[in-house]
Structure 1
Amino acid sequence: MGEVISFPEPSGDPARTRPEPLWREQVGRVLREARSAAQLRLIDVAERAGVSPQYLSELERGLKDPSSEILAAVSGALGLRTVDVASRAVRSLGRSHVTGGYDGTMCLAA
């Protein structure tokens, strides 16, 4: 079994008591921003990636957790590497922290 790591108790700061953002939500934001910046329609990216437009929409809204294969396909359809999407998601978490929206603690489940 793995080691259980305790998270620090939240301080009295209201910004630190907000729930931590979910990874799928951050990745979804990155995908939507990349698609919008490229001025591509949802249906075009979905077709290139081999997924349904409905599923891609759910990914972008942070409702679905993509497998590594799906993330690679959608990233590629946007002209990005999977690591680019992950890096952007991490950087956006850092920006949230600077603006007080996130305390820096994040859980990723395998």
Structure 2
Amino acid sequence: MSNQAPNQARVIPLRPQSARPGTGRPPSERPATTPPRPVAPQGPAPGETTREPLWRDLVGDVLRRERLAQERTLKDVADAARISMPYLSEVERGRKEASSEVLAAAAHALGLGLGDLLSLAQGELTRHSARSSRAVRGSSYDGMCLAA
């Protein structure tokens, strides 16, 4: 039997007192509770190329940028294009591969032609390709040259 009173709880430590955090060890010797997170590398490693963006990502970025530049809501553009607001949101985020009819409707709702939308997306792809090729070659020049 036990010498303790029947209504008192008895505490049994699971580890020795010296191994408990906060007791027995100075703070510099205590183990960290969470390991440090690895830092993600910035930019491509030497000799590596970056992944080219998908067409749907480029088109979605252009649609969103144009909509925000006109200070229009997603609902307003979706209603004007006669497509659902969730679907337009998915297209803008590059989650859906929209048909040419949907892209044309969204472009027209923003006052653009389908050719304008595709041209802007092609410009984005060209800029991305130029950035990734400069990163591979190691050039530090970040300008544009125009010739007449």
Please, what TM-score do these two structures have when normalized by structure 1?
0.75
Structure 1: distance between partners of 2:117 and 2:110: 10
1:13 is aligned to 2:17: no
Deviations 1:16-74 (A, max 9, x none): 2x222110010000000000111100000000000111000000000011111111100
1:51 is aligned to 2:83: yes
- 1:42 corresponds to: 74
Following superposition, the deviation at residue 95 of structure 1 comes to 1.1
Structure 1: distance between partners of 2:99 and 2:69: 24
RMSD of equivalent CA atoms: 1.9
Structure 2: distance between partners of 1:82 and 1:26: 14
Following superposition, the deviation at residue 94 of structure 1 comes to 1.1
Structure 2: distance between partners of 1:21 and 1:46: 25
Please, what TM-score do these two structures have when normalized by structure 2?
0.57
Q: Return the structure number with greater helix share.
A: 1
- 1:22 corresponds to: 54
Give percent identity, aligned residues only.
46
Structure 1: distance between partners of 2:129 and 2:51: 12
Which AA in structure 2 matches 1:46?
Answer: A
Alignment of 1:84-103 (within 5 A): 84-100=116-132
Instruction: Provide the aligned length of Structure 1 versus Structure 2.
Output: 90
For structure 2, the 5+ residue unaligned runs are 1-45, 136-148
- 2:96 corresponds to: 64
Q: Contact between 2:64 and 2:92, CA under 8 Å: does it hold in 1?
A: yes
Structure 1: distance between partners of 2:54 and 2:128: 13
Which structure would you say has the larger RCO, counting Cα contacts within 8 Å and 6 or more residues apart? Answer: 1
User: Runs in 1 of length 4+ with deviation above 3 angstroms?
Assistant: none
